[in-house]
Structure 1
Amino acid sequence: MKGCWEQLMHLSNDLSEMGVVLSRVNNSCRAATREPVNTSQTVNSICDREVNSTDSDHSSIIPIQNKAVCEPVELLVPALPVAARVERGYVTPQQVYNLLSAEAGQPALFDPFYILILDCRSAESYKDSHLVTARAAVTVIHPVLGCLVSCIELQKYSIILLYAEEGCSPVGSLRARVDSPDLQRCFFQLSHLGMDPVILLGGFSAFHTLYPFLCTPRMVLLEPERHTLTIYPSEILEEALYQGSAAQACDYRVIKNLHITHVVNATANSPEAFPNTLCYLTLSLTDDGQQNLVEALPLASRFINSALMAVPAGRVLVHCSTGRSRSSALTLAFLMEHRRWSLLHALRWLKERRACTAPNVNFLHQLLTYEELLFGSKLTSLNDIRR
């Protein structure tokens, strides 16, 4: 990455004749030129709290008129994503957070039959606080009467989640039976009925530590009540990187509860909701077949990485209108460049955490070009990522 400005000086004549090319806007380039990126419209600035910056001018992004490439001196070596190993039958607090935040047209949590959450703790603990939309387990699986809900009703749920106060022992083990006997009883009775329940790893305690704002003493079951819930952005990297919609970026509860410090705004018309408290990179991008991401990909990638590497580390929200296409393209560029993942692996990782991820075909083509620039060869084919 370093020394790219010197290369650009020698290559500019040849590269000016090329078609779509990628501009590597990095600290060494900015320090060498001391000039802002060439723009043709009014744009917003990167916060001067950004680390790794070698000067104090503010970077910005819109489609550029004069294209030039500043290629990396050293190509990246691909790496594989490493996810935490989870015992079969368990889900992590982060996975549950993303389940509660899932969107497909509308928030999935608004559907009463999307997820059945059973609190297997004491009645007192449930009344004090529980996961949002959770029911006391005894209202479904009674210790004496057995299953109080018909199998037909249970089969309507896409997900059945159980949790105790704590616990991470393998389901069915002696330790698990001792630590959370009510949960184990519910798990095996539901399994006997043909259901496939999952258990929250670490229990309520682990989830509440990370996401207290998704715990409540209120009973929220009916559809009208569900429509009053705050739906949060998807968590892409734990306690670090989030992706969501423009509405979420303007919701103070979301910003406050997730401790967001930096925002990448990929829309052309959404305002900066909190300019006095947050650091913004605003991109004038449209979600269509003509939008050029030539500068947006490296600038967004740099901005996100700088925020996450700051001391103390920041938290970044990347958003477009619905959090599906433009924001996904920018998140994928960061995962490729700073996690060294191929586009295929980055896209799989992103979709596991935000199922509605759907960059348009134009963006996918440009991401494939960006991958080749970063790694020196094509690691992913369009067929791989359109399946």
Structure 2
Amino acid sequence: MGCKGSKSKKNAYARVAQYQKESWAAERAVCRPPESLEWGVAPPNCITPASLHNLLTDGFYAPYSANPRYLLVVDCRAPRAFTRRRLATARWHGALHTAPAPNLVHTIVLYDDKPRTAVPKPEDTDPLANLYHDLRRQKLDPLVLVGGWQVLEVTCPHLLEGGDNPPTPEPMPWYPAQVIPGLLYLGHAEMASDPRVLSALCVTHVVDVTECLPPRVLPSMNYLVVPLPEEETEGTKPSEKVNNDNNGTDLISSLPTILEFVAEARTYGGCVLVHCDQGLTRAAAVVMGILMAERRCTLEDAFYYVKGARSAVHPSQSQLQQLAKYETVLFGASLTLVEDLF
């Protein structure tokens, strides 16, 4: 028994030593530690204007803003302010009897004209605080907009109506997801062909990840076509993936050109829209690559950040494997297991 115990201990020590050896080797291989991708994170039970934008414009076949049962946005300002100008989908807090019952709605967002940085305190008695605490007593989880109306008005003017943007019989356009505020959006092909979307977001540069150039709907628009394949053909050699008419081009070899295009937009105060057919696979992978290069973050961070902005994204395994290899270019080692991302 003693011999067996000693042998077991030796095996355990050997496994620990091997693990330590592999860990040290991995640490030595990392030439540059990744940065954390955590800008614009809201406090508990709050939401940023960028996240509200993406919540309104997320969806599979139509934006969630078109579904009153999915999202209830409540304007808690004075009635005159609400009448003058408001979020296009918002309900005034004094007329909630005309809205769907809060307990039947997926997400509730509250805003007013106070530059809030946290949820209201229990002793607060303004309209937003009263509604917030009432909903909490109903076991609901409303979100409070950080920064209030002032920040919303500056960052999301295209989502507002009233004033210079009176209500129209047409539904609000389906906007792309905001990835880097003021610089980078992710969407589908129809968005790149809609002049209302491009003008409202001040898009100046379009990265087209399909095989077809979209119509030039605005004369000053700049286009970069990167025909990435939807899915690589099984058995295709790496040398055959680049500049191959059948398989398109390679994601990683295209990134330097894409990054130069993004840098050009930034230099001239422009904005970039990256799109493929549906904005879920190829374009999403390109945006993840841009984030990895721009923010020096891991594929894992970029994947979940983009998925948080547009929940339906699902890059292919081959695209994610390419981005995992790109980590070795950025950090000297691959830090993300693609199998762990789903």
TM bracket, shorter-chain basis? 0.7 to 0.9
Amino acid of the structure 1 residue aligned with 2:121: S
Q: Does 1:286 align with 2:193?
A: no
Query: Normalising by the residue count of structure 1, what TM-score does the alignment of the two structures yield?
Result: 0.70
Equivalent of 2:138, from 181, 193, 199? Answer: 193
RMSD over aligned Cα, in angstroms?
2.4
* Deviation per residue, 1:335-377 (Å, 9 max, x gap): 1122111111111111121212211112111111222233221
**1:301–1:333 contact (8 Å) kept in structure 2:** no
Match of 2:17 in 1: none
Amino acid of the structure 2 residue aligned with 1:172: P
Match of 1:212 in 2: 157
**CA deviation after TM superposition for structure 1 residue 183, in Å:** 0.7
**CA deviation after TM superposition for structure 1 residue 232, in Å:** 0.8
* Deviation per residue, 1:32-55 (Å, 9 max, x gap): xxxxxxxxxxxxxxxxxxxxxxxx
Classify 1:200/1:260 alpha carbon distance in 2 versus 1 (closer, same or farther; 3 Å): same
* Aligned-partner Cα distance in 2 for 1:278–1:236: 20
Match of 1:340 in 2: 296
Match of 2:40 in 1: 84
Q: Does 1:182 align with 2:127?
A: yes
**1:297–1:333 contact (8 Å) kept in structure 2:** yes
What secondary structure sits across from 1:195 in the alignment?
Answer: coil
Q: Does 1:172 align with 2:120?
A: yes
* Deviation per residue, 1:283-336 (Å, 9 max, x gap): 22231233443522332233223432x1x4321111111111111111111111
Classify 1:357/1:303 alpha carbon distance in 2 versus 1 (closer, same or farther; 3 Å): same
**2:31–2:331 contact (8 Å) kept in structure 1:** yes
**2:118–2:146 contact (8 Å) kept in structure 1:** no
Query: Is the helix fraction higher in 1 or 2?
Result: 2
**1:298–1:333 contact (8 Å) kept in structure 2:** no
Match of 1:353 in 2: 309
Amino acid of the structure 2 residue aligned with 1:379: L
Q: Does 1:246 align with 2:189?
A: yes
* Aligned-partner Cα distance in 2 for 1:375–1:306: 25
Match of 1:161 in 2: 109
* Aligned-partner Cα distance in 1 for 2:314–2:206: 20
- How many residues matched? 295
**1:134–1:219 contact (8 Å) kept in structure 2:** no
Amino acid of the structure 2 residue aligned with 1:295: S
Amino acid of the structure 1 residue aligned with 2:192: A
**2:86–2:161 contact (8 Å) kept in structure 1:** yes
Classify 1:270/1:322 alpha carbon distance in 2 versus 1 (closer, same or farther; 3 Å): farther
Q: Does 1:301 align with 2:259?
A: yes
Structure 1 residue runs of 5 or longer lacking an equivalent are 1-73, 141-147
* Deviation per residue, 1:118-173 (Å, 9 max, x gap): 11111111111111111111122xxxxxxx489x9322211111111223153233
**CA deviation after TM superposition for structure 1 residue 378, in Å:** 1.1
Classify 1:86/1:257 alpha carbon distance in 2 versus 1 (closer, same or farther; 3 Å): same
Classify 1:256/1:275 alpha carbon distance in 2 versus 1 (closer, same or farther; 3 Å): closer
Identity percentage of aligned residues = 28
Within 5 Å, give how 1:305-324 maps onto structure 2.
Answer: 305-308=263-266, 310=267, 312-324=268-280
**CA deviation after TM superposition for structure 1 residue 233, in Å:** 0.8
Equivalent of 2:78, from 101, 113, 122? Answer: 122
Structure 2 residue runs of 5 or longer lacking an equivalent are 1-29, 234-246
Equivalent of 1:137, from 80, 90, 93? Answer: 93
Query: Normalising by the residue count of structure 2, what TM-score does the alignment of the two structures yield?
Result: 0.79
Classify 1:90/1:118 alpha carbon distance in 2 versus 1 (closer, same or farther; 3 Å): same
